[in-house]
Structure 1
Amino acid sequence: MPADWLSPADWQAVRLSLKVAFWAVLCSLPLGILTAHALARWRFPGRGLLNMLVHLPLILPPVVTGYLLLLTFGRQGAVGAWLEQVGIVLAFRWTGAALAAAIMAFPLMVRAIRLSIEAVDPRLEQAAATLGARPAWVFVTVTLPLILPGILAGAVLAFAKAIGEFGATITFVSNIPGQTQTLPSAIYTRLQVPGAEAQAGRLVLVAIALSVGALVLSEWLSRAAARRVAP
């Protein structure tokens, strides 16, 4: 791809999207694995409520999610005001964009990992437990290697979703060039400028290429991991 195919501002939006998606997945993956394991294996009061909360971002309009984030993590929000006292500001920062992307991508990650856990024969875990292994050690030594394909697939799908997140992000962190303007926000901005359709079209092609690449990578990683853990 020629270096001048996109403007410096467009490249900046692409790099910021990749940065936001990377940190969104990295920070949410441990919680995603724990949540998926809890929904797949544990029985506890409020399990249905937890399942509903996990999938709520898929149902709510993204703008609503962004508004709730602004109320919660904004400078005047219940959590945001406390975080600001310790020097952490999320609203109208790229870190806030990462938070919004993580929340919107979380259901896809959890769903992929949960299906992978449910496919593991519980008798394998029970056999390890009868030999004296603690639950955490059973998970690390038995369950985790078997669900690796699901973890990889969920992480890559969440990464692709995070790159394309728009509604919650623009509501929570706005559309500030060089600071919070991600790839979808840049496309939206170009479409509002007369004569900038060609720039928007090039950004659309980049977004399609990144999404397709993520899907292909997810499939390849899943198959490679499945071959590795297969008996």
Structure 2
Amino acid sequence: MWGFRAEELSAIRLSLKVAVAAALCSLPAGIAVAWLLARRRFPGKALLDALVHLPLVLPPVVVGYALLVLLGGNGPVGAWLDAAFGISFAFRWTGAALASAIMGFPLLVRTVRLSIEQVDRRLEEAAATLGAGPLRVFFTVTLPLAWPGLVAGVVLAFAKALGEFGATITFVSSIPDETRTMSSAIYGLMQVPGGEAGIWRLAAVAVAISFAALLASEWLVRRQRGEERVP
């Protein structure tokens, strides 16, 4: 039962690649948007907040279809990217990473925003009083103090990307060795007789990876806060 097949190992490797790419590539934008929502007041802030959290309430299939219409081979953005730069997302693993990043982006932004809001503004003001510019204040005061939230946000985005199904299968389908992640592989195994063993293998790997990521996140946060690790 526990002997992994080649296609299952391929799905596991691809899922990890997609999840890591989705979490890391969305991190800079997530930090910027989180800081903007936490520290600035501007017209349309509520609208931006709603747009950021929209993927949480939309059916994932709708997000995948919107990406397919916009970034598909005949889509306005997709056709331009392909003609100008030779970049294609539809039915590629990069498209799976993009769809997963969009679905996990609200979780990342919300977690980082809450962490930034907990940073004492008086520390930032003191650094500014001593002559530090906005960027220096952000990188030397705000970001280090909000570091646990960044770790938690990346882990949440990674876990979301690891299990994403609806948006990815709509946008990039389930192509072996290219876009077939663990979620789509499990769905495919549900359609064939005798696929239960493969389902259990992939499900066990998904649980183990997610659990390990959460444990690593908790350990890093405790270490940052100077707490001893609970055995």
Match of 1:120, SS? coil
Q: Distance in 2 between matches of 1:155 and 1:224?
A: 17
Tell me, yes or no, if the aligned pair for 1:153 and 1:221 is still in contact at 8 Å.
no
Q: Read off the aligned partner of 2:31 and give its amino acid letter.
A: I
Q: Distance in 2 between matches of 1:147 and 1:76?
A: 42
Structure 1 counterpart of 2:47: 49
Listed as ranges, the matches of 1:86-165 within 5 Å are 86-165=85-164
Q: CA RMSD of the aligned region, Å? A: 1.3
Listed one character per residue, the Cα deviations across residues 31-69 of structure 1 (whole Å, up to 9, x for unaligned) are 010010001001011111111111111100000010111
**Does 1:16 find its partner at 2:14?**
yes
Q: C-alpha displacement at 1:185, in angstroms? A: 0.4
Q: Distance in 2 between matches of 1:226 and 1:90?
A: 40
> Which TM-score applies when normalising by structure 1?
0.95
Q: C-alpha displacement at 1:112, in angstroms? A: 1.1
Q: Read off the aligned partner of 1:47 and give its amino acid letter.
A: K
Structure 2 counterpart of 1:32: 30
Structure 1 counterpart of 2:173: 174
Structure 2 counterpart of 1:84: 82
Q: Read off the aligned partner of 1:59 and give its amino acid letter.
A: V
Listed one character per residue, the Cα deviations across residues 2-22 of structure 1 (whole Å, up to 9, x for unaligned) are 9x6210100000000000011
Q: C-alpha displacement at 1:226, in angstroms? A: 2.2
Q: Which runs of 4+ in 1 moved over 4 A?
A: none
Q: Distance in 2 between matches of 1:5 and 1:128?
A: 57
Match of 1:111, SS? helix
Structure 1 counterpart of 2:212: 213
- Report the more deviating stretch, 76-85 or 177-186: 76-85
Q: C-alpha displacement at 1:136, in angstroms? A: 0.7
Q: Read off the aligned partner of 1:97 and give its amino acid letter.
A: A
Q: What 5-or-longer segments of structure 2 have no aligned partner?
A: none
> Which TM-score applies when normalising by structure 2?
0.95
- Report the more deviating stretch, 207-216 or 154-163: 207-216
Structure 1 counterpart of 2:62: 64
Structure 2 counterpart of 1:196: 195
Q: Read off the aligned partner of 2:114 and give its amino acid letter.
A: L
Q: C-alpha displacement at 1:93, in angstroms? A: 0.3
Q: What 5-or-longer segments of structure 1 have no aligned partner?
A: none
Q: Distance in 2 between matches of 1:74 and 1:227?
A: 48
Identity %: 63
Q: C-alpha displacement at 1:95, in angstroms? A: 0.4
Tell me, yes or no, if the aligned pair for 1:9 and 1:178 is still in contact at 8 Å.
yes
Q: C-alpha displacement at 1:145, in angstroms? A: 0.7
Tell me, yes or no, if the aligned pair for 1:120 and 1:143 is still in contact at 8 Å.
yes
Tell me, yes or no, if the aligned pair for 1:62 and 1:168 is still in contact at 8 Å.
yes
Tell me, yes or no, if the aligned pair for 1:13 and 1:178 is still in contact at 8 Å.
yes
Match of 2:180, SS? coil
